[in-house]
């Protein structure tokens, strides 16, 4: 488990020690490794005092239960407080919380509404949206959309502009074969076909992530898989594609692993050579038997009828003009973590730290510069109608100019009224209206973009300040938001 990096946690540390929770790891005083029998189990009764302590501390936002190697991508992303960060595949949210703790503005995205709901629930459960640590929610935008076509923010953005994000995390969907030690359901379902089927998606997400990274910025690509088709093959394909788009072979480099930050943590170099395989049914006499079938090249795999085949799955040739031609593009700079290398205390993981040395003009269809247009009534985020806004302004004596600029409706799917009705008609009804959020300038540009880009929905932006109460037929200030309302929205005395 991982403790928050801010706040005074001396009392919590003492209680963890008293409950037998172990001691911090040598490379991070906020990371603890405890006996698996003490870890809370869903529906179980194991763990005793430590289990109860971890559960209560997690609910208070003081710690996050997280695999040790799973914390590495956010650490090596090297986020600074002034950065704007994009987490392309954010659910279930542990890494998003790490990024928020760095003090950055964070855009957390996922493609499935169920995963967005799980992400929101996790952030709320850990007090990141409201409560003691709710200020972090003011630096957070939650979006639902396809990471492979995630749009570039509008040019007007203060921190973003057309230059993109300072940091991008691409912790992509994967086969999860590195989690076999802790999740016994993975192995019976495993086959190379799982990784093969995900390769194109992983490559698409990684490429788009780099296009959205500003020049001089950094992207971390990671998986909890040990399969090179999901790991080094993706990195090699990204290096080649970026060289093609940028028109230069030095636009992207793999940064070396920062060994000095992780004393005692064993890693292995990435590999330059691997085997590509699929699986076929075995002999008829052996019911349910499956065997691996390897393919030396794309051509032989194609001839054999391999499913989900892509030429980028195979290792680059020795005469490749980009990959492995210099230390900066040497796949051995990637990092693989094996459970038995660290006394079985970690899962399996893969990390590649990519530095965007030079920018380039990305192909049409990938770089989406959003133009102003009228938002439709189906938008997930929009300006409150004037009748609603004016009532709130008068009730709380707000600065009307600031309110018009900074207050937004965020109408999540579970809260939407009839989309066929226009905003003013909906406002005239007594049915529950969407919550009102305060959106600071550094978030506004992407919030507006999310309103207008097909396929991207905004589920949270900034800080919720007002909620609708049906019995009162009006809005009230949400708990904990009054300080923000007084500081940012009230008329000057």
What does the pLDDT look like over 217-257, one tens digit per residue?
Answer: 999 999 999 999 999 999 999 999 999 999 999 999 999 99
Which one has a higher pLDDT value, 446 or 339? Answer: 339
What region, left, alpha or beta, does residue 61 occupy, with left being phi > 0 and alpha being psi -120 to 50 degrees?
left
Q: Which of 476, 395, 462 is nearest to 433 (CA)?
A: 476
CB within 8 Å of 203: residues ≥ 6 apart: 234, 237, 238, 310, 312
Q: Is the C-alpha dihedral spanning 331, 333, 334, 339 positive or negative? A: positive
Which tokens go with 432? 């529950």
Q: What proportion of the chain, given as a percentage, has pLDDT over 70?
A: 82
| Mean pLDDT, the chain, whole residue set | 83
User: Is the pLDDT assigned to residue 167 strictly greater than 70?
Assistant: yes
Cβ–Cβ contacts within 10 Å for residue 114, how many?
9
User: Is the pLDDT assigned to residue 42 strictly greater than 70?
Assistant: no
Which tokens go with 147? 């990471």
Instruction: Taking residues 7-31, report their average pLDDT.
Output: 81
Catalytic residue positions?
A: 224
pLDDT band at 349 (very low <50, low <70, confident <90, very high): very high
Give the Cα separation of 455 and 399 in Å (integer).
34
Give the Cα separation of 458 and 335 in Å (integer).
34
Instruction: Taking residues 88-105, report their average pLDDT.
Output: 91
Backbone φ and ψ for 463, nearest 5 degrees, come out as -130, 130
User: Is the pLDDT assigned to residue 373 strictly greater than 60?
Assistant: no
**Strand pairing report for 165-171 and 213-223:** parallel
| pLDDT tens column, 421-465 | 455 554 454 467 899 999 887 777 666 654 445 567 888 888 889
- CA of residue 406 relative to chain centroid, distance: 25
Give the Cα separation of 353 and 338 in Å (integer).
18
Please tell me the predicted confidence (pLDDT) of residue 385.
92
Cβ–Cβ under 8 Å, residues 192 and 323: no
For the ranges 90-94, 165-169, 183-187, 482-486, the lowest mean pLDDT is seen at: 183-187
Which one has a higher pLDDT value, 216 or 376? Answer: 216
Burial of 80 (0-12, 13-18, 19+ CB in 10 A): exposed
Instruction: Taking residues 78-93, report their average pLDDT.
Output: 93
For the ranges 58-62, 201-205, 259-263, the lowest mean pLDDT is seen at: 58-62
Which one has a higher pLDDT value, 483 or 430? Answer: 483
Helix (H, G, I), strand (E, B) or coil at 63: strand
| pLDDT tens column, 106-158 | 999 999 888 988 898 888 877 777 654 557 888 898 888 899 988 876 544 44
Q: Which of 346, 358, 91, 330 is nearest to 213 (CA)?
A: 358
Which tokens go with 139? 């630096």
| pLDDT tens column, 278-328 | 988 766 555 556 688 999 999 999 999 999 999 999 999 999 999 999 999
Which tokens go with 484? 């923000």
Supply the pTM of this predicted model: 0.87
């Amino acid at each position: 488990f991982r403790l928050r990096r801010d706040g005074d946690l001396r009392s919590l540390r003492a209680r963890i020690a008293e409950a037998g929770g172990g001691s911090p790891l040598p490379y991070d005083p906020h990371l603890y490794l405890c006996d698996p029998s003490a870890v809370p189990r869903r529906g179980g009764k194991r763990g005793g005092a430590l289990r109860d302590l971890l559960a209560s501390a997690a609910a208070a936002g003081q710690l996050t239960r997280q695999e040790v190697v799973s914390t590495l991508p956010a650490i090596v992303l090297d986020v600074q407080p002034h950065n704007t960060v994009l987490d392309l595949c954010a659910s279930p949210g542990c890494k998003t919380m790490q990024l928020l703790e760095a003090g950055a503005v964070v855009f957390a995205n996922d493609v499935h509404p169920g995963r967005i709901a799980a992400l929101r629930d996790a952030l709320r459960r850990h007090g990141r949206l409201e409560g003691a640590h709710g200020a972090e929610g003011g630096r957070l935008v939650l979006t639902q959309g396809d990471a492979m076509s995630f749009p570039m923010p509008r040019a007007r953005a203060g921190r973003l502009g057309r230059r993109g994000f300072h940091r991008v995390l691409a912790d992509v969907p994967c086969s999860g074969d590195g989690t076999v030690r802790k999740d016994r359901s993975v192995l019976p379902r495993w086959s190379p076909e799982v990784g093969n089927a995900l390769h194109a998606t992983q490559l698409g997400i990684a490429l788009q992530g780099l296009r959205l990274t500003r020049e001089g910025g950094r992207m971390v690509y990671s998986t909890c898989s040990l399969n090179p088709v999901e790991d080094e093959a993706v990195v090699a394909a990204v290096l080649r594609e970026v060289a093609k788009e940028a028109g230069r072979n030095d636009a992207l480099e793999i940064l070396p692993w920062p060994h000095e930050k992780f004393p005692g943590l064993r890693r292995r170099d990435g590999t330059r050579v691997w085997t590509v395989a699929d699986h076929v049914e075995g002999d008829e006499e052996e019911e349910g038997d499956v065997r691996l079938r390897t393919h030396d090249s794309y051509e032989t795999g194609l001839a054999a009828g391999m499913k989900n085949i892509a030429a980028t799955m195979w290792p680059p040739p020795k005469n490749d003009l980009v990959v492995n031609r210099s230390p900066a593009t040497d796949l051995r700079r990637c990092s693989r973590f094996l459970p038995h290398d660290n006394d079985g205390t970690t899962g399996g993981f893969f990390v590649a730290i990519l530095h965007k040395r030079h920018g380039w003009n990305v192909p049409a269809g990938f770089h989406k510069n959003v133009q102003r247009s009228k938002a439709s009534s189906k938008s997930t985020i929009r300006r409150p109608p004037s009748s609603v806004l004016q009532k709130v302004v008068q009730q709380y004596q707000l600065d009307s100019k600031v309110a018009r600029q900074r207050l937004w409706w965020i109408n999540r799917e579970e809260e939407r009224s009839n989309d066929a009705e226009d905003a003013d008609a909906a406002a005239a009804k007594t049915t529950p209206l969407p919550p009102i959020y305060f959106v600071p300038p550094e978030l506004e540009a992407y919030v507006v973009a999310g309103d207008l880009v097909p396929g991207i929905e905004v589920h949270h932006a900034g800080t919720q300040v007002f909620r609708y109460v049906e019995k009162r037929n009006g809005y009230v200030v949400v708990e904990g938001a009054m300080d923000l309302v007084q500081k940012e929205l009230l008329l000057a005395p």
